[in-house]
Amino acid sequence: MRKIIVIGAAGQIGSELVPALREKYGNNNVIATGRRTPLPKNIVDSGPVIYLDALNREMLAKTFYEYEIDTIFHMASILSATGEKNPQTAWNININGLINVLEVARSYNIDRIIWPSSIAAFGPTTPRENTQNETILQPTTMYGITKVSGELLIEYYYKNYNLDTRSMRLPGIISSETLPGGGTTDYAVEIFYEAIKNKKYTCFLKEDTILPMMYMPDCIKCMIDLLEADASKLKRHVYNVTGMSFSAGELVSEIKKHIQEFDIKYKPDFRQEIADSWPKTIDDSFAREEWGWKPSYDLNSMTKDMIEKLTKKL
Ligand code: AKB
């Protein structure tokens, strides 16, 4: 049985990843860690929870040692829009946090590390349609720069220290439990809350902005499947993955099928330039071939499920 630590368990993905991991590997085998944001009650009530600052190497070492950790999900990260407001903080948390985790991991008995990269690793010089796994990586955001650097770092630690590091380039993640914070794809979550609560939303991206996205159940499956993938089948450490691609306007039309009176306005801000530097569609065939990646949700089924879940919740 694995002994797993989720660093950054209060975030949008971490808060749903921990319950899924606890169900699969046992409550006491999944340690949830947070730093600033309080952890959700279901996580606090169902298993070990600790304060952990990834910028503190000693604290990382003590935790890995005391809990006999062998598997790490390093989820703590500053996202694209916040990263543009505080680029130095983004570098510090995203890269110094990651290198600390890798450094401490190589001194302990760590079997596997999952660290998500992002479509933000691509930039304006990358082909935007059907973007390939191996392509130009020249991002213009600090967040993107940390993702490319992180990808290179995890390769380096694999090659030089034999650490089994694995990563997927996540698109925008849509979910009904915890709100994302500080990303460019956040509109695709906020829009549901506003459509249900107030029947109107002002979108910070243009109507025709197309971005790759994924629904949370697929994202959780993606993380656990890559963790469990047979090492002999993997030919690389970083994989493109995607669930669906749609424009803001297409999402609005889909929501209107359920909430006819929904009123939308578009008022693009600084995040438009970030979105315009990212791919519209992603080629994830290596993930499909090498570890059987296959998403279940498309725009239609995701929208239906989000509206059902959020209507109950709100
Ligand atoms: C963001 O918008 O910054 C993130 C991402 C695509 O990595 N959701």
4-172+215-240 and 173-212+243-281+296-313 agree in CATH topology:
no
- Torsion sign (Cα): 23, 8, 314, 214: negative
- CB of residue 167 inside a 6 A radius of ligand 1: no
C-alpha–C-alpha distance, residues 244 and 211, integer Å: 9
Q: What is 173-212+243-281+296-313's CATH number?
A: 3.90.25
Cα 95–Cα 100–Cα 104 angle in degrees, nearest 5: 155
- Mode of pairing for the β-strands spanning 49-51 and 71-74: unpaired
Percent of the chain past pLDDT 70, that is, above it, reads: 100
Record: fold of 4-172+215-240: Rossmann fold (3.40.50)
Joined tokens for residue 19: 């319950």
- How large is the average pLDDT for residues 289-302? 98
- CB of residue 146 inside a 6 A radius of ligand 1: no
Q: What per-residue confidence (pLDDT) applies to 235?
A: 98
179-201 confidence digits (pLDDT tens):
999 999 999 999 999 999 999 99
1 C-alpha to ligand 1 centroid (Å): 32
C-alpha–C-alpha distance, residues 180 and 58, integer Å: 29
- CB of residue 118 inside a 6 A radius of ligand 1: yes
- CB of residue 119 inside a 6 A radius of ligand 1: yes
100 C-alpha to ligand 1 centroid (Å): 23
81 Cα nearest atom in ligand 1: 3
- Report the nearest-CA residue for atom 7 of ligand 1: 118
pLDDT reading at 109 higher than 90:
no
- Residue pair 146/90 in contact (Cβ under 8 Å)? The answer is yes
User: What residue spans define the domains of the chain?
Assistant: 4-172+215-240, 173-212+243-281+296-313
Cα dist. 67→1, 32, 113, 175 in Å? Answer: 13, 11, 16, 30
62 C-alpha to ligand 1 centroid (Å): 31
pLDDT reading at 18 higher than 90:
yes
- How large is the average pLDDT for residues 263-276? 98
C-alpha–C-alpha distance, residues 308 and 311, integer Å: 5
290 C-alpha to ligand 1 centroid (Å): 25
- Report the nearest-CA residue for atom 1 of ligand 1: 183
Q: What per-residue confidence (pLDDT) applies to 301?
A: 98
C-alpha–C-alpha distance, residues 121 and 77, integer Å: 14
The pTM score is 0.98
Residue 110: DSSP 8-state: -
- How large is the average pLDDT for residues 241-253? 99
- Residue pair 100/55 in contact (Cβ under 8 Å)? The answer is yes
Q: What per-residue confidence (pLDDT) applies to 77?
A: 97
pLDDT reading at 269 higher than 90:
yes
Q: Which residues are catalytic?
A: 143
- CB of residue 184 inside a 6 A radius of ligand 1: yes
- CB of residue 139 inside a 6 A radius of ligand 1: no
